[in-house]
Amino acid sequence: MCSLLYWYQNRFNFSRITYKLPRFSSKVEMKKNGQAVWVPVTVRVEDHVIVPDLDHFNIENPDQFIEDYTSNIASTPMNMSRPLWEFHVLNVKTSNAKSVGIGKLHHSLGDGVSLMTLLLASSRKVSDPKAPPTTTATKKHADSSAKGWWCIRRFWLVINIIFTTLTELFKFWLTLCFMRDTKTPLMSEPGDIVRPRKCINRIISLDDVKMIKNTMEMKVNDVLLGMTQAGLSRYLSKKSVDDDMATGKKKVRLRGTVAVNLRSDTKIEDLTNMMEKGSKCRWGNFVGIVIFPLWVRCEDDPLEYVRKAKSTMDMKRISMEALILYGLVKCIMKIFGDKAAENIVKRVFGHTTLTFSSVMGPKEEVSLFDHPMSYVTATASGGPQALIIHFVSYVDKIIINLAVDPTVIPDPHQLCDDLVESLDIIKLAALEKGVHNMEV
């Protein structure tokens, strides 16, 4: 991954990034009316690129050291008197990489898509050092067999969109007002406090996820959500002291907040051009928040978790909830200020159990300034929730990253094991289903 050599011998590249993305060379100041503004400042690279002297550390277990180091910087508040980013270079060989680079960036710099775009724009293919990486663009396929019924189908789709959107907005309003998730071992106590974070990650096979996707005729995100539901069910069945809750006889309200990318352009060319003036693809935070109900109970058929996930995702895909809520929050910010919008978001997050997100990474191996990358992962810190689950794809693998409050979830490795084991169980069930279909 990145090394100290790049950062000191390639300052032209750094200047180019700060020129195209002025937020990386600006600090945030608050006006008297409570409005936050970006103020350009002189950037001292030495304040942002941190290379710890590892000779002072007793590193017996490199993986554990990286985990502790990441958790420590995730729990440390950022210095608001300078640009809100840091890059830590650790020359430590782990089980997955020869060295590690850790970037810590404030969410005001950009959302997950923006930051992944910056990574893609800065990297090149290992197979072709002059070519940028590629990702899979979202494609919409027209159903040619239904041309004769297009009027009826479109009318029914509009009705369905309106009804689903109104229903989801009503549920969002209930959550904002009073509806909290069921108290479980994953649910944090209410309160606006800065929570400690422990960050761990695990690598799974993208091919396994795609096999389940193809067998069940669904999308990758459907499989990841289904795996999450199965893993949470396994974990809670072991931790819950309520037998009815553990067996699924007692209904559990467990929901996750999901940040939805609202950009219509998803091709790499559109994303990398995001940094250019006049680009149609917007840099910054252009995401909407939706609330996902999670199916948490013991199921005899493990494929039921992915079926339920697909059903939920299909409903959310036709809803305009994310776009409407994005516009509503922007409107509240303009009328009542940033603090009012922040309180609304915190209240919604505080009434739900976790945050779930997935970001699509490069399809082939890439290098960052001539340093090949072994894997890419991401997470978030802050917020009232005790659990944040992120998935990032890279070549033929998917990296699971958990950021937990250790005072609420003291055994995050067990939770991560349950997620991975659930994927294996779902994979075996999908293989059996595929074999049965072939025999029939």
Closest by alpha carbon to 297, among 249, 331, 333? 249
Structure-block tokens of residue 74:
């995730």
Strands 255-261 and 49-50: unpaired
- C-alpha dihedral sign at 336, 340, 342, 346: negative
Which residue(s) pair with 38 in the sheet?
28
Question: Where do the H-state alpha helices sit in 254-405?
Answer: 268-272, 303-318, 321-336, 338-350
Of the CA atoms within 13 Å of residue 285, those in its CB half-sphere come to 12
What distances in angstroms separate CA 200 from CA 266, 427, 433, one per listed residue? 29, 23, 33
**Known active-site residue 48:** no
Query: Could you give the CA distance from residue 296 to residue 247 in angstroms, rounded to a whole number?
Result: 10
Angle at the Cα of 307 from the Cα atoms of 379 and 230, rounded to 5 degrees: 50
Structure-block tokens of residue 62:
């490199």
Instruction: For the beta carbon of residue 123, count every other beta carbon within 10 angstroms.
Output: 20
Query: Could you give the CA distance from residue 179 to residue 174 in angstroms, rounded to a whole number?
Result: 6
DSSP string, 61-113: -HHHHHHHHHHHHHHSPP-TTS-SEEEEEE----SS-SSEEEEEE-GGG--HH
Q: Which of 88, 107, 351, 371 is catalytic?
A: 107
- C-alpha dihedral sign at 134, 3, 20, 47: positive
- Residue 419: Cβ-neighbour burial (10 angstroms; 0-12, 13-18, 19+): buried
Query: Could you give the CA distance from residue 425 to residue 431 in angstroms, rounded to a whole number?
Result: 10
- Tell me the three state secondary structure of residue 29: strand
Residues with a known catalytic role: 107
